[in-house]
Structure 1
Amino acid sequence: MWPAGSGEEDGARQEIRAYLAKAGRDYVVSVGINNDDTLELLEKSEPRQLIDDLLAGQRDLMEIAVLDPGSFTEAGAMEVNAGTDAFMGTAAIQYGRFTPGNKLIDQADVAAAAAGKMVFRSAVMDGKSILKGYIGFEEPYPLVVSLVMDEAFLFENLNQQRMNRILISGALLVLVVMASYIISGWLIRPVHSILSKVNDVADGQFDTVLEVRSSDEMGQLAQQVNAMSKNLAVYTNKLQSAFEENRTMKEYLQSFINHTSDAIHVEQTDGTIVQVNQAFEMMFGWTAEEAIGARLQLVPEQYSREEQQALDEIAAGKLLPARETVRQRKDGNWMNVSVTTSPIRDNKGIIRAYASITRDMTSRYKMDELLRRSEKLNTVGQLAAGVAHEIRNPLTTLRGFLQLQQQTQKLNVGHVDLMLSELDRINLIVSEFLILAKPQASKFELKDVRYVLGDVVSLLDSQAHLCNVVFNTDFTQEECEIACEENQLKQVFINVLKNAIEAMPRGGEVNIVVEKRKRDTIAVSITDQGVGIPEEMIPKLGDPFVTGKETGTGLGIMVSQRIIQSHQGTMDITSKVDVGTTVVITLPAVTE
């Protein structure tokens, strides 16, 4: 029987493990035995019956023996029953069956197992490959358990177990992959829907709406995509409307540019032409293919400085009105034009090009010349009619006195004085007509208008005293030099001051002011306190024989206006009846 008394019940759990590697195999066999469990099993069972049950239940287990290591390693122990193939029930073999092999190796293995090592090795028994193992126990007393297993059957079982595990692992892997595919498909389905919606948006289709089925991150993302699609649809419609408006406006502008009679061209700051219209081709003679990309000589050399000054003023931010100048055609001929130039700036405000609108003024100048000639002929006709009328009256008086003296055959001195007076009037009319029709050649000199006007005031001062008229002068202290013909300018001042004196039959004051205004101009203001001029007559002043005086011809104002115009000045007349008249003569000052 198995001896009673089994180790310490509260002792630590012990386990013995060994590893067996065999040549030609790609694995290692691990064998482990728990000492406590094994001893507990041996204590509760009959040893021999237990060994028989183990041999019957384990097909790969061929022998089990419980050895006494002390007796087994003695010199004569292995020679007992030497004629038998196995030891059973000897002092060295307490239980089970043991088939000896190599004596020295068996003893060495038992001794090693008794020393605490688990020994397994391969051997051959009855022509079979076997696996022999020795496991030592120290409690309740030293012993060694010997195990003999069929190696082929063992490894067959191991291979079968490995194959089963491989199959199970493969099946589990397939299940995991399928489950992962199903789960990933369920998880990625919203992503596919969102991706499909994004592709529709990229293709410009904003009508489809994603169905939001959850409130998680995917649901929130779907809501954001729907909102983005809606906003993009609104913005796209606005952009399309703006694009259509811009396209329509561009067509209108292109039609206007191509069908206007004014030449339009755009040139870069270096003078390179980048765009022209049809009127440009017709006006200047270059085709669009010739002009675009080229630097054309549109401005004659003599006017290049004037053109550069205009561009400098535009670059400085000044808005220039249309300016009349000269341009050059392809054939080299010049033409009078009116040019309006505008800058084209980029988003940073830097001028990148200039757009110019050019209008041919040749026809207008011809019309102006014809109009001037027509006005001159009309004026000559009016003057001729007026002169004929004014001269006919004195001539009628002369004819009557001469006929009277012819009949009486007597010379009447009183009649002679009247006839001389009428002849003087005829001479005055003819003289003024000659001055108006053919003014004398003018030679302009630098004169100070204060001194010229002062001489006239001194000349007429005595006549003014006789008429009870006082001249009040207020001359500026600044120099008032102008380029003028002195005698013609004196004639203007004499005409204006004489009209002022004659407009005040009861006397009064004439205020004379000379001042220098801005923009380099000099203003001479002459104001009387006379009877004034009716408002409806003021626009007609300067026409022949239009006058408010009984003995006037109206030619004095006409001559004065012409002289002032020849000096590049202006004459403005304002008046109120019974208040007085103001004449303002403006002349350009000479600048250094």
Structure 2
Amino acid sequence: MRLTGFARFLPTRSLRNRLMLTSLVVVALPIAIVGVVLEREGRQALVTEKQDKLFALTRILDADLGPGFDALLADLPSGWSDHDAAVRHLNARLAVLTDRLAAADPGVGVGYYSRRLDAIVTYGPSRDYGATVGQPIKSDHPGRRVMETGQPRVEVGALVRGPIMNAMLPIVRGGETIGYIWANEFSDAIERQQRRIDEAVILSSIGGLVLAFLIIWIMSRRLSRDVEVIVEGLEVMKTDLHRPIPHLRDELGGVVVAINAMAKALLDARSLTENILTSIADGVVAVDREGRVTAINPAAEMLYEIRAGDALGRLYCEVFAGCPTESLLLGTLDNGRPRVSVTIDYLRGDEVLKVDASSSVLRDGDGNQIGAVVVLKDVTERHRLMGQVMRADRLAALGELTAGIAHEIRNPLTSIRGFVQYLDDCETIEEWRQYGPLIIRQVDSLNRIIGELLAFGRPRPPQIGKVKLDVIVEETTFLTRGKSGARIELDLDRSVPEIEADGEALKQALLNLVINAIQAIPETGTVVVSTRSDGEGNAVIRVIDDGVGVDPENLDKVFDPFFSTKPTGTGLGLAMVHRIVDAHHGVITIESRPGAGTTVTVRLPFAQPEPEALP
């Protein structure tokens, strides 16, 4: 179970309780592990120490034995032949050694065993175990394995003396095992010592836990008190950033300093933002994800003629009666698409205001949408001034247009007048027949000029529909083939989608551009017509020629009415193209260098914009 799972069983799930529980677990676990390790290591150390001590006693007895049993029996007339006499003789010689060694370490039993006699020679202390002298060990006694293998051995269990730890050392003389020496101690004595070790470890662990609990309790109390100060201060800051958290010590003091600094920075930023919103002349209105007004500055109050107290917290459509569903602000809130510099008409009382509106999405620090905001600028006066400037420009253009018309009509009229004066004095019908067609051509020229002028001055509104640019280009360029030595090449992107446009008007505009490109090529050359998508919602048409080009000083005039560099041109063709592109909310540009050709680029939106509603 995770630590947080234990916290559910605490009386209160406070930071202090969780901290105490966590600290106790963190402290208790190492103490328990150390206690177990110490207990096991202590037991093992005790056993090892006992074994080392017992083997040390056997090595002493082995050294005291000297050359072996044969040397001790040398002064016995019967030697090895008399079993009982040999046992008594060896016991008399060796019992002194075993009893002295047993007396030096009470509770220890030591002795010799003769393999040849198959009997216990001595067992000290003799007063306790003298009765075992002369007796053989059992057939399954571990001492026999020691004599067979010649390897020392420690055995714990019930042997001759009872339940003991018995260390047995083989007696090797001349490469032959002649018996073994033992030193043993009762198991219950060893177990008592092991229990004392266990008790010491347990008492030490409990003492450590109690001491750790006291320290943790004191430290957690102090820490929780400091944390409560921070929590209470943060609660106050939710509504009042002017009240800092009281100063604390240690690391939490640094945290408090950082929090107070951030609160001051936030207060300064909020004050700066409020001052900016209050001071700017543009209106600002913000709504949350439900469309409720969350902010409105004085400029917006003046524009909407409403007080902030009557708007904040209410739905946008409730505040502004009759709010259309296609509102710029609510549209951005729904689809997340920002709108920039959209000029709309806003009805306020009896007057209609021109308002420049821009809307965008509001996001939090994680990038999640939390609302939308619209910035409103009253441009009514600017539009009025622009209207005056446009009227002045139209009057100036009208003057230029009038001068151009007068110039274009005067030349044919002068020719007609001259021919008529000449024919007035003619006496033969042949001269009338000779100059009559000339007069008719001049009249046709006047009629053509008037027709183009009427088409330019009274354009029909575009008939918008879905059209394919590649089809328009192919049909238009087909009409121009064979009119000169120029070669027409098509570079069409078939993936360009359909656009909303007037197909016939586009044909007329494209035809003018291609004819101009052909006429700019003296003899032979190439005209390339391409279609592309610019990736920004526009279709692009380019007409490129390698003709004579346009002088830099004439580039700004090519779209002016009655401006033409061709001897027979009227100067209305490119002006008509410009008007058609404008009617489609498109853009036309021209790039040219004398002798290097000309590139005309037309950008048309895929979809025609819809009339904007109120913000």
Smaller-chain TM-score bracket: 0.5 to 0.7
Aligned to 1:59: none
Which amino acid is 1:387 matched to?
A: I
Aligned to 2:219: none
**In 2 relative to 1, CA 375–300 (structure 1 residues): closer, same or farther, beyond 3 Å?**
farther
> Displacement of 1:471 after TM fit?
1.6
Aligned to 1:457: 477
Paired residue secondary structure (1:463): coil
Structure 1 unaligned regions, length at least 5: 1-226
CA distance in 2, matches of 1:246, 1:507: 72
Please state if 1:310 is matched with 2:332.
yes
CA distance in 1, matches of 2:396, 2:344: 30
- Pick from 547, 556, 563: which aligns with 2:580? 563
Asked if structure 2 preserves the Cα contact closer than 8 Å seen for 1:481 and 1:590, the reply is no
Which amino acid is 1:406 matched to?
A: D
Asked if structure 1 preserves the Cα contact closer than 8 Å seen for 2:361 and 2:369, the reply is yes
Asked if structure 2 preserves the Cα contact closer than 8 Å seen for 1:268 and 1:352, the reply is yes
Please state if 1:510 is matched with 2:527.
yes
> Displacement of 1:519 after TM fit?
4.0
Which amino acid is 2:466 matched to?
A: L
Paired residue secondary structure (1:261): coil
> Displacement of 1:506 after TM fit?
1.7
Aligned to 1:222: none
Please state if 1:495 is matched with 2:512.
yes
Structure 2 unaligned regions, length at least 5: 1-247, 609-615
Asked if structure 1 preserves the Cα contact closer than 8 Å seen for 2:564 and 2:571, the reply is yes
Aligned to 2:417: 399
Please state if 1:257 is matched with 2:255.
no
Aligned to 1:425: 445
Q: How does 1:95-244 map to 2 (within 5 A)?
A: 243=264
Which amino acid is 1:288 matched to?
A: A
Which amino acid is 2:543 matched to?
A: I
Cα deviation per residue 1:59-97 (whole Å; 9 max; x = unaligned)? xxxxxxxxxxxxxxxxxxxxxxxxxxxxxxxxxxxxxxx
Asked if structure 1 preserves the Cα contact closer than 8 Å seen for 2:288 and 2:370, the reply is yes
Paired residue secondary structure (2:550): coil
Aligned to 1:544: 561
Q: How does 1:263-302 map to 2 (within 5 A)?
A: 263-297=283-317, 298=320, 301-302=323-324
Aligned to 1:217: none
**In 2 relative to 1, CA 341–562 (structure 1 residues): closer, same or farther, beyond 3 Å?**
closer
Asked if structure 2 preserves the Cα contact closer than 8 Å seen for 1:303 and 1:326, the reply is no
**In 2 relative to 1, CA 345–558 (structure 1 residues): closer, same or farther, beyond 3 Å?**
closer
Which amino acid is 1:458 matched to?
A: F
CA distance in 2, matches of 1:541, 1:288: 53
Aligned to 2:498: 481
Asked if structure 1 preserves the Cα contact closer than 8 Å seen for 2:561 and 2:572, the reply is yes
Aligned to 1:376: 394
Asked if structure 1 preserves the Cα contact closer than 8 Å seen for 2:332 and 2:360, the reply is no
> Displacement of 1:387 after TM fit?
0.3
Aligned to 2:456: 436
CA distance in 2, matches of 1:263, 1:236: 38
Aligned to 2:174: none
Aligned to 2:598: 581
**In 2 relative to 1, CA 334–290 (structure 1 residues): closer, same or farther, beyond 3 Å?**
farther
CA distance in 2, matches of 1:281, 1:268: 18
CA distance in 2, matches of 1:341, 1:442: 30
CA distance in 1, matches of 2:574, 2:357: 36
> Displacement of 1:556 after TM fit?
0.6
CA distance in 2, matches of 1:400, 1:328: 62
Which amino acid is 2:548 matched to?
A: V
**In 2 relative to 1, CA 295–392 (structure 1 residues): closer, same or farther, beyond 3 Å?**
same
Please state if 1:521 is matched with 2:516.
no
Aligned to 1:470: 487
Which amino acid is 1:270 matched to?
A: E
Aligned residues: 359
**In 2 relative to 1, CA 434–334 (structure 1 residues): closer, same or farther, beyond 3 Å?**
closer
> Displacement of 1:284 after TM fit?
0.5
> Displacement of 1:279 after TM fit?
1.6
Which amino acid is 1:544 matched to?
A: P
Paired residue secondary structure (2:467): strand
CA distance in 1, matches of 2:365, 2:528: 58
Q: CA RMSD in A?
A: 4.0
**In 2 relative to 1, CA 462–238 (structure 1 residues): closer, same or farther, beyond 3 Å?**
closer
Asked if structure 1 preserves the Cα contact closer than 8 Å seen for 2:545 and 2:597, the reply is yes
> Displacement of 1:247 after TM fit?
7.1
Asked if structure 2 preserves the Cα contact closer than 8 Å seen for 1:323 and 1:338, the reply is yes
Paired residue secondary structure (1:358): strand
> Displacement of 1:558 after TM fit?
0.2
**In 2 relative to 1, CA 565–299 (structure 1 residues): closer, same or farther, beyond 3 Å?**
farther
Q: Is the deviation greater in 394-403 or in 362-371?
A: 362-371
Which amino acid is 2:598 matched to?
A: T
- Pick from 407, 422, 442: which aligns with 1:389? 407
Query: Identity of counterpart residues, as a percentage?
Result: 25
Asked if structure 2 preserves the Cα contact closer than 8 Å seen for 1:299 and 1:326, the reply is no
Paired residue secondary structure (1:583): strand
CA distance in 1, matches of 2:598, 2:446: 29
Aligned to 2:183: none
Asked if structure 2 preserves the Cα contact closer than 8 Å seen for 1:405 and 1:412, the reply is yes
Asked if structure 2 preserves the Cα contact closer than 8 Å seen for 1:531 and 1:578, the reply is yes
**In 2 relative to 1, CA 299–490 (structure 1 residues): closer, same or farther, beyond 3 Å?**
farther
Aligned to 2:380: 362
TM-score scaled to structure 2, two decimals? 0.50
Q: Rg: which structure is higher? A: 1
Aligned to 1:191: none
Cα deviation per residue 1:283-303 (whole Å; 9 max; x = unaligned)? 101123322343343485434
**In 2 relative to 1, CA 241–568 (structure 1 residues): closer, same or farther, beyond 3 Å?**
closer
Cα deviation per residue 1:41-73 (whole Å; 9 max; x = unaligned)? xxxxxxxxxxxxxxxxxxxxxxxxxxxxxxxxx
Cα deviation per residue 1:6-55 (whole Å; 9 max; x = unaligned)? xxxxxxxxxxxxxxxxxxxxxxxxxxxxxxxxxxxxxxxxxxxxxxxxxx
Which amino acid is 2:507 matched to?
A: K
Aligned to 1:554: 571
> Displacement of 1:555 after TM fit?
0.9
Asked if structure 2 preserves the Cα contact closer than 8 Å seen for 1:391 and 1:426, the reply is yes
Which amino acid is 2:333 matched to?
A: L
Asked if structure 2 preserves the Cα contact closer than 8 Å seen for 1:299 and 1:328, the reply is no
Asked if structure 2 preserves the Cα contact closer than 8 Å seen for 1:265 and 1:280, the reply is yes
Cα deviation per residue 1:128-182 (whole Å; 9 max; x = unaligned)? xxxxxxxxxxxxxxxxxxxxxxxxxxxxxxxxxxxxxxxxxxxxxxxxxxxxxxx
CA distance in 2, matches of 1:480, 1:343: 29
CA distance in 1, matches of 2:372, 2:469: 44
Asked if structure 2 preserves the Cα contact closer than 8 Å seen for 1:482 and 1:590, the reply is yes
Asked if structure 2 preserves the Cα contact closer than 8 Å seen for 1:481 and 1:589, the reply is yes
Which amino acid is 1:384 matched to?
A: T
> Displacement of 1:351 after TM fit?
4.9
> Displacement of 1:463 after TM fit?
1.5
**In 2 relative to 1, CA 303–573 (structure 1 residues): closer, same or farther, beyond 3 Å?**
farther
Asked if structure 2 preserves the Cα contact closer than 8 Å seen for 1:300 and 1:326, the reply is no
**In 2 relative to 1, CA 479–392 (structure 1 residues): closer, same or farther, beyond 3 Å?**
same
CA distance in 1, matches of 2:397, 2:471: 34
